[in-house]
């Protein structure tokens, strides 16, 4: 996926800054959308493509740092590049700890901003790929029967077929059949592969549902 398919969202209440950035992005062939407030950004329709957010720290009403926190709560995962004319070390540390991609103090070099934007695009593409992979895993796991899910939990915990059979009161051959079915449905090539999938699913469910025993 190329940067030309990605979008930069800019929130800055200074018209001069928006115009300067618009000129820069047009000269480099980057797609950008501009907003003078966080409310205008939230009310807009955002295309389902990789992107990043260039955000002014000091805005009327909700500050950029506060908006960063609200985005996290709202499930908006765009990488953020902060720009400010009044930055300080504690402010930048707070922004970076909360997941910002970059914190640039005006006046900054155009190339520094462009580099941060490309890094933001890459970060968002990686996140989107991971989300797609998790969605596919969840789809596959939804096809498992309750017995297959039960056996999967024992398999990823390292239990052998005969141990699982004893614990569930089943024959070893029955466990072997269920195990083969769940491996096929999950498209797991090995137990190690299955454990990795179980860990990803468990993390995606925020530990509300686990494929681990115990």
pLDDT for 36 equals 93
CATH code of 24's domain: 3.40.50.2300
For residue 136, being part of any structural domain is answered with no
Which pLDDT belongs to residue 208? 38
Claim to verify: residue 122 and residue 158 sit in the same structural domain: no
**Total domains, the chain:** 2
One domain, residues 97 and 22? yes
Q: Is 126 helix (H, G, I), strand (E, B) or coil?
A: helix
Percent of the chain at pLDDT > 70 equals 93
Domain co-membership, 94 together with 166: no
Q: How confident is the model at residue 4 (pLDDT cuts 50, 70, 90)?
A: low
137, part of any domain: no
Q: Are 32 and 21 in contact (CB under 8 A)?
A: yes
Q: Are 100 and 81 in contact (CB under 8 A)?
A: yes
59 is a domain residue: yes
The enclosing domain of 166 has a CATH number of 1.10.10.10
Q: Is residue 134 part of a domain?
A: no
DSSP H or E segment with residue 31: strand 31-35
The verdict on 45 and 91 lying in the same domain is yes
Stated pTM of the model: 0.75
Residues 95 and 8 in one domain: yes
Last residue of a domain, one of 129, 153, 184: 129
Closest CA to 64 of 51, 78, 46: 78
Residue 97 lies in a domain: yes
155-203: pLDDT as tens digits: 999 999 999 999 999 999 999 999 999 999 999 999 999 999 999 898 8
Query: Residue 206 has what pLDDT?
Result: 53
| Residues 77 and 177 reside in one and the same domain | no
């Amino acid at each position: 996926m190329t940067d030309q398919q990605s979008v930069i969202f800019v929130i800055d209440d200074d018209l001069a800054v928006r115009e300067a950035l618009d000129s820069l992005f047009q000269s480099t062939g980057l797609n950008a959308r501009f907003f003078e407030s966080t409310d205008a950004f939230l009310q807009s329709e955002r295309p389902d493509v990789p992107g990043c957010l260039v955000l002014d720290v000091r805005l009327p009403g909700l500050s950029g740092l506060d908006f960063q926190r609200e985005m996290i709560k709202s499930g908006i995962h765009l990488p953020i590049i902060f720009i400010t004319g009044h930055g300080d070390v504690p402010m930048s540390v707070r922004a970076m700890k909360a997941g910002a991609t970059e914190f640039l103090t005006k006046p900054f070099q155009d190339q520094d901003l462009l580099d941060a934007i490309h890094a933001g695009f890459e970060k968002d593409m990686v996140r989107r790929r991971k989300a797609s992979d998790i969605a596919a895993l969840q789809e596959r796991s939804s096809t498992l029967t309750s017995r297959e899910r039960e056996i999967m939990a024992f398999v990823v915990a390292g239990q052998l077929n005969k141990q699982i059979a004893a614990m569930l009161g089943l024959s070893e051959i029955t466990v072997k059949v269920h195990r083969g079915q769940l491996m096929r449905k999950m498209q797991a090539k090995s137990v190690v592969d299955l454990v990795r999938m179980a860990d990803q699913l468990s993390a995606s469910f925020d530990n509300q549902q686990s494929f681990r025993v115990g």
